[in-house]
Chain A
Amino acid sequence: MKPKVAFFDFAGCEGDQLQVANLEENLLDLLGQVEVVSFREVMKEHSDNYDIAFVEGSCTRLQDEDRLKQIRKNAKLVVAIGSCAAIGGINSLKNYKDLDQVKKTVYGEHAALFDSYSARPIDAIIPVDAYVYGCPIDREDFLQVVKSLLLGKKPETPTYPVCVECKKNENVCAFERGQFCVGPVTRAGCNSCCVNEGTICWGCRGLIDNPNENSQKEVLIKNGLTVDDAIGKFRLYFGWQEAKR
């Protein structure tokens, strides 16, 4: 029997589920291996009977915790897809601001009507079995994780930084071009895609498990940058991870 899979979303842009819809012909192959029983973005049917739950988006409200716990209860495996679900992601930018002020900025006098707390990855609420990193996730990466899970293996995740891939791609280092890049401490697996496209690594895959902070500091000093510069850049995606450290 084909394993039943379901997709769920919390606070996020749904760009990761879109990558699944964007699998094109590979999507047809995938549908040959699994049975999709819930995917609100593309189907009307819904069932709570599933083996693998793919969850996109951060948890940003108390009321969403119950829904997450229910998903955990129903599923044999829970997979966090995308930065918001896997590491808190860009949503955690607001965690460094006064929450009342944040609400007032957007909703003025009606601010009090909104529930919202610090944005967090889903593993702050429930145990997670596998992660697909990135903002958005990479389609190939997603397929690899799905394949591993279907074979009963734990998906492999790089523990080295983006710099390793970037060097292999023979990019000119962003620091040498006078830009700030968080590639030295960001988890690889993206094939340094943003630097390949002429920009910098923004850190969307999150901090590696053991970032070499001394080396990062050396790079900063060598390039005349301050710790404040670094903190600002780190907060773009690492907000939740940094706060936990």
Chain B
Amino acid sequence: MKQSNVEVNVHHITRVEGHGNIYVNIENGKVEKCEWNIPEAPRFFEAMVVGRSWSELHHITSRICGICSIGHSLASLKATESALGIPISEQDLKLRKLALHAENLQSHILHLGFLVLPDLLGVGSVIPLATTNLNEVKMVLQLHRTANEMSNLICGRTTHPQRLIPGGFSKIPSMKELTLLRKKLQDSIPNLQAVAELFSSLAGKLPNFKRETEYIALSDPSEYAFYDGKLASSDTGSAPVKEYLSFTNEYIVPHSTAKWAKHVRESYMVGALARLNINYKRLSPMAQKTAEKFNLLPMNYNPFMNNIAQLVEVVHSVEDSIRLINELEAAGLQTQPDYNKPDIKVKAGTGVGAVEVPRGILFHDYTYNEKGICTKANCIIPTNQNHGNIQQDMNALVPQIAEKTQKEIELALEMLVRAYDPCISCSTHVTKIK
């Protein structure tokens, strides 16, 4: 092997949400330093919500992240509803599951089409692809637009949803609108298959890297879990969601900048690949077929395959949304009053809400006093749970590619970080140690 000196210094990695830096130093072929760190400005949401009313928390915490605002709203609502003992109807449950599918579609398609595809096609962004690969770009845009329209229809808006409120919805779509959405979802399947073909033809560009780790996701016997389920680990089995702190164990890293998480190993991974590894059997039929096409079967230990797991989930979300709309139709959609405001009795309490958002499992945990004012809040975001795993992957990957050129190493590490689809502005608490 060539005894090389290489320095990789990616200040503010591009095509990810938020700010992250990669620093690698290789001297005489030996990895001297390999760091993933986060210089994002902290925003202090957990302190900002203290003193605010139960009726506002979902609105405020939605602003933690523009991309996963539906997921934050839902985790927040679940925590509030659990603390205050607020029930929601079967119909609203189905509509909320549609809301999560809509966000999953929006986010995964944006990530795959706008952020990952340029790496696979060897360009710096999607912009030149609008000239060289217009057909592909148009397919991605069509799928993305359908996902956005779905978010609009269920939530009122694509980002920072308005209709999701404690106890249900302030407004719901009509059956006619849902039927139209179902048609659009069905019509998007050929495009989806074409995009899957495109990724299949490019999948060889994803590094063939493997590192065993622990995967954590929600899991439910009745469906591929997004909205609800038990906490499940690929190492230790399942536990109730309220025991989440014994899974996340946040800790501080002396050399770097983030509050990270670990369970039984050095680190664990959350997100599409974790969900697929744990809940593969409950993927929709077409999604399983897509996974087989890429030979993506559990347990898969290649973090770069998180991209493909997202693609598989896109197929699942489309198919499962069609199923949910069929069920809503079969049950007969119940109408509700305009400006619906469920009758809620306020009491003191503590509640934890967990949902699977595009990047993995998200926890909101609130305590309310007897007036329904928040006295304590904790939010644990998927990307923070993944930071430790990204670092461990880098530690394992860099020595394997140390003889490559500076540019190749840089690209491989950027692709690794992008595969996790990190959502850094989401990080409600980031720790910086000097």
Contacts and interface: CB of A to CB of B under 8 A. Distances in A.
Interface of A: 9-19, 21-22, 24-25, 27-28, 31, 36, 39-46, 57, 60-61, 64, 89-91, 93-94, 97, 101-103, 105-107, 110, 113-114, 116, 135-136, 172, 174, 177-179, 193-194, 197-199, 202, 232, 236
> Mostly helix, strand, loop or mixed at chain B's interface?
loop
6 contacts: A18-B67, A21-B110, A44-B124, A94-B48, A105-B44, A106-B428
Nearest to A44: B124
B17 A64 contact: no
Nearest to B424: A14
Contact of A198 (B41, B127, B144, B339): B339
Q: Sort chain B's interface into a size bin.
A: 35 or more
B64 interface: yes
A157 to B, nearest CB: 21
B434 interface: yes
B120 to A, nearest CB: 14
A14 B141 contact: no
Nearest to A28: B130
Given A40-B12, A44-B15, A199 B46 contact: no
B162 interface: yes
Nearest to A176: B339
Interface in B12-52: 12, 14-18, 41-44, 46-48, 50-52
A242 to B, nearest CB: 16
Interface stretch (B163-171, B204-212, B229-237): B163-171
B307 interface: no
A133 to B, nearest CB: 14
Nearest to A104: B47
Contact of B41 (A60, A97, A236): A60
Given A93-B52, A197-B157, A199-B162, 19 more contacts: A15-B69, A18-B159, A22-B158, A40-B12, A42-B125, A43-B15, A43-B124, A61-B41, A90-B48, A93-B48, A101-B47, A105-B46, A105-B50, A113-B431, A136-B66, A136-B157, A197-B171, A199-B170, A199-B339
A13 B63 contact: yes
A211 to B, nearest CB: 21
Contacts of A40: 12, 14-15
Contacts of A174: 339
A135 B44 contact: no
Interface string B105-132: 0000010001100100000111100100
